[in-house]
Chain A
């Protein structure tokens, strides 16, 4: 069964950093691109970042460029999201999701259960 599990969330103070991990199982990790998507409490879905199957191509939501970095380790079946200079507006559940071989024009499935990041003083 294709599965994604996020980890690394928690409660942090404004200005701090956090690294999220997304570990995959049940499929050939290196064949797929991945997204991070977040959802603030009571709000809709916001795409955060995407990375190609080999890590050579990355894209970010414009408002997050320079603070968030997506990466992957194909030997560990894991995608990462490094989040720096966190603000209260970054408080959300962060989901990892599998795209296709290409970053675009593909279905996005499955999704992990999410990990909660709470930024509070």
Chain B
């Protein structure tokens, strides 16, 4: 199975900060990564798909980069609604696997 490792596990930041979340795959997965945002009590929502460069309706402050085994999700200027947990997911091969999540908290 492909392991997805996210870092950091949690992050405290302030409104207006720029943050970068990292996701590492245990083997080469090209660009087959999806990123999700989950708020407490809610279902995960697709944020950005590197697979199809899908970013419809997502604020431009969110961006992704990477290929192979290392991927990043950046938020250029944190807004109050961005404080949530973020998950990466590989769609390269079965079984589908998720990272353990990065919890983004308000400082």
Contact = CB atoms under 8 A, between A and B. Distances in A.
Interface residues of B, number: 27
A107 B95 contact: no
State the main secondary structure of chain A at its contact with B.
Answer: loop
Given A95-B43, A113-B43, A114-B43, A106 B96 contact: no
A38 to B, nearest CB: 11
18 contacts: A44-B98, A44-B100, A45-B38, A46-B98, A59-B94, A60-B95, A61-B95, A62-B95, A95-B43, A104-B32, A105-B32, A107-B49, A108-B34, A108-B46, A109-B46, A111-B43, A111-B44, A111-B45
B91 interface: yes
A105 B91 CA distance: 5
Interface residues of A, number: 25
Contacts, number: 70
Interface of B: 1, 32, 34, 36, 38, 42-46, 49, 51-52, 54, 87, 89, 91-101
A108 B95 contact: no
A35 B96 contact: yes
A70 interface: no
